[in-house]
Structure 1
């Protein structure tokens, strides 16, 4: 029994160090060491196993359970980025935002248009939205990038421009629009970071051990270069945020999970609307069985979120729409 517990202890310590490694994404860029970003993908599984092992130590009446529980406090916020239970907000909602990767309208362009129209949002931020070509939304002003993102709004657009890519052959990572709402100006940034372009069968391990090993190698070969592309794109987006003379609301498909390098550096100086006002799971991509959050809405601290919903009532894409409302009283 002592040998078994020793093995469990070594495994538990190993998982703890892997979890701590994922936190280093806040400091270590992918071009220097991309493997920390890989750990962020496995964070939910590692965290579940970590908690199960704590329960094991508690049932074994071992004091080390308290040591692991204390160490686990470091992961409270990382867990809340995936599953959160915030309190109800008393502030009045002044502006409603919808962010949605429409997958090019392949699952029903007309149905997507009807859905977006029904939301009555002040601003809609689309990714892979076919240039926002929805006749039902003709009363919205449209800002379309030369990439695959589109901003639709009921309000006055003062200016807009692409957030360029360092490599002209790459997908434009975003578009920004300065929009006047109730007499004040806000910068909206719509993001679509470079996709991994995985198909479901590429990440499903159901063959022989040799075939599965090859799939894992292929996955890593695709992930690491994309992480490095994201680093360049994140730098461009950070510049758009830092140089904005107006409060910022940024949303989109980041193609990155919470606790990744992309998350830490894009949320810097902003607030995650889900952390402030979300309840339940933030999972927004449902094409795989594994729960993944890659769609986000961030805002300047002066624009607090009062609600945040991942709308799982519709399946118009491989993403769920993400909807958030904000109070403008801080302005």
Structure 2
């Protein structure tokens, strides 16, 4: 099974990019983040043979799951804060696997309410993922985590010292997920390999010079990790005209 995740940075602006990528790569499942709008073009993807479920809001956030297989929607909100209306979470069942699509808060600037919201969101995610870890249902959590796990996951660590993505608090929470027994799919297959990124700023030719960061991840519970065959980053969509600032990350399971 081939599962991909892609922060598309506006589905309205890049629906054609997604359509072309689905046609060329034919994943079984695609997790999308940052839809940035209330409307989702489900019919475009249905014509390609994909079911879809989307959680949207006006102008910001938004997550969706596209699948060649039937989708059972389990949850559209992360437990722990009934007042949180941000469209950042989608839990579904596909082919016997719990697949969770997340768009974790960015958190900038440091010290602001946005940073506190990021930490609070992660503090809600951790116990939920611990519960999943202790259940028998195979679980895969993917999406834009907005966390640079280690120094190797960015081109120049010193340039990110003042950014919320690189702070010790969110990084510690990410490591706590690994300590629970989840596997970072990409890093487990590419240990110590530098220069592998999923996001590049639009400015100063960051992509052309590979000045990027790895913030889009797949975390796999042990039952899914044993099925992991490959995990790679597809750079081609980032080379297109008017691309997202992210590019897809793909896992293949036996």
TM norm. shorter chain > 0.5:
yes
Output the CA distance in 1 between the equivalents of 2:183 and 2:222.
6
- Residues 157, 112 of structure 1: CA spacing in aligned structure 2 closer, same or farther, 3 A cutoff? closer
Q: What does residue 190 of structure 1 align with?
A: 101
- Residues 158, 221 of structure 1: CA spacing in aligned structure 2 closer, same or farther, 3 A cutoff? closer
Tell me, yes or no, if the aligned pair for 2:184 and 2:219 is still in contact at 8 Å. yes
CA shift, 1:275, in A, is 2.2
Instruction: Please give the per-residue CA displacement for 1:228-248, whole angstroms capped at 9, x wherever unaligned.
Output: 333334236425634654101
Pairing partner for 1:110 from 16, 31, 35: 16
Output the CA distance in 2 between the equivalents of 1:178 and 1:325.
17
Q: Does 1:173 align with 2:100?
A: no
Q: What does residue 63 of structure 2 align with?
A: 149
Unaligned runs of 5+ in 2: 151-170
Larger of the two Rg values belongs to structure: 1
Is 245-254 or 219-228 further displaced after alignment? 219-228
Output the CA distance in 2 between the equivalents of 1:227 and 1:242.
22
CA shift, 1:222, in A, is 6.5
Q: What does residue 41 of structure 2 align with?
A: 133
**Structure with greater helix percent:** 1
- Residues 270, 174 of structure 1: CA spacing in aligned structure 2 closer, same or farther, 3 A cutoff? same
Instruction: Please give the per-residue CA displacement for 1:10-40, whole angstroms capped at 9, x wherever unaligned.
Output: xxxxxxxxxxxxxxxxxxxxxxxxxxxxxxx
Output the CA distance in 2 between the equivalents of 1:240 and 1:142.
26
Matches within 5 A, 1:69-108: 95-105=1-11, 107-108=13-14
Q: What does residue 31 of structure 1 align with?
A: none
Q: What does residue 159 of structure 2 align with?
A: none
Query: Normalising by structure 1, what TM-score?
Result: 0.56
Q: Does 1:163 align with 2:163?
A: no
CA shift, 1:264, in A, is 1.5
Secondary structure of 1:168's match? coil
Query: Normalising by structure 2, what TM-score?
Result: 0.71
- Residues 241, 163 of structure 1: CA spacing in aligned structure 2 closer, same or farther, 3 A cutoff? farther
CA shift, 1:324, in A, is 1.4
| Runs of 4+, deviation exceeding 6 Å | none
Pairing partner for 2:132 from 241, 248, 252: 241
- Paired residues in the alignment total 209
Q: What does residue 326 of structure 1 align with?
A: 253
Output the CA distance in 1 between the equivalents of 2:41 and 2:117.
29
Is 186-195 or 160-169 further displaced after alignment? 160-169
Is 133-142 or 296-305 further displaced after alignment? 133-142
- Residues 135, 114 of structure 1: CA spacing in aligned structure 2 closer, same or farther, 3 A cutoff? farther
Tell me, yes or no, if the aligned pair for 1:132 and 1:152 is still in contact at 8 Å. no
Tell me, yes or no, if the aligned pair for 2:104 and 2:118 is still in contact at 8 Å. no
CA shift, 1:168, in A, is 2.2
CA shift, 1:144, in A, is 1.8
Secondary structure of 1:163's match? coil
What's the RMSD between the two structures over aligned residues? Answer: 2.7
- Residues 144, 318 of structure 1: CA spacing in aligned structure 2 closer, same or farther, 3 A cutoff? same
